[in-house]
Amino acid sequence: MWVRDVMQRDVAVVGPETALHEAAKSMWKSRYQLLVVGDEHGIYGLVTMRELVLGAEAQAQGGPVEGVGDIASLNFIFTHEDEALEQLARRMIHARARRAIVLDGGLHAVGVVSPMELASPDVVERASEESFPASDAPSWTGTSAG
């Protein structure tokens, strides 16, 4: 399977100076609790719903939060639609990244892959089928073939 088969495609991209309330509107419209923070100069990070709420709370208490760029997480890696999921999963584990931003040929964000997409039933079922032939049940299942 490939990144294009599981990536979340309707992720909003907002500029780092975007106000938190505007970012929340963009997140709501995308129906995905994640924003990519970027502009014509590059991608700066990701903002989850949790980070947005915590940032708004910090801002309300007088914290130095002006826009989503101030609360963006750097815990991600880049990928492309044609990368094999197995390879992406290995890279995410190695980098200890929680998400992968999918870039197109023009280096624009076109999607995101998170552990949720990697653990979808289709991906797990296909990985299990490819990993364990019907005649070779894994030892941890407690079953034997035949």
CATH code of residue 97: 3.10.580.10
Q: Is residue 145 part of a domain?
A: no
Among left, alpha and beta (phi > 0; psi -120 to 50; other), residue 45 is left
Q: Give residue for tokens 């979340």.
A: 8
Task: Indicate the number of domains in the chain.
Answer: 1
- Three-state helix/strand/coil letters over 35-96: EEEEECCEEEEEEEHHHHHHHHHHHHCCCCCCCHHHCCECCEEEEECCCEHHHHHHHHHHHC
Q: Which among 121, 126, 125, 118 is positioned nearest to 7, based on CA atoms?
A: 118
Q: Is residue 139 part of a domain?
A: no
pLDDT digits (tens, 9 = 90+) for 20-55: 999 999 998 888 889 999 998 899 999 999 999 999
| CA dihedral of residues 23, 26, 31, 37 (deg, nearest 10) | -60
Q: Is residue 146 part of a domain?
A: no
pLDDT digits (tens, 9 = 90+) for 81-137: 999 999 999 999 999 999 999 999 888 899 999 988 888 666 656 655 555 455 555
In sequence order, the 6+-apart residues with CB closer than 8 A to the CB of 139 are none
| Residue-range definition of the domain harbouring residue 87 | 7-131
Element (H, E) at 146: none
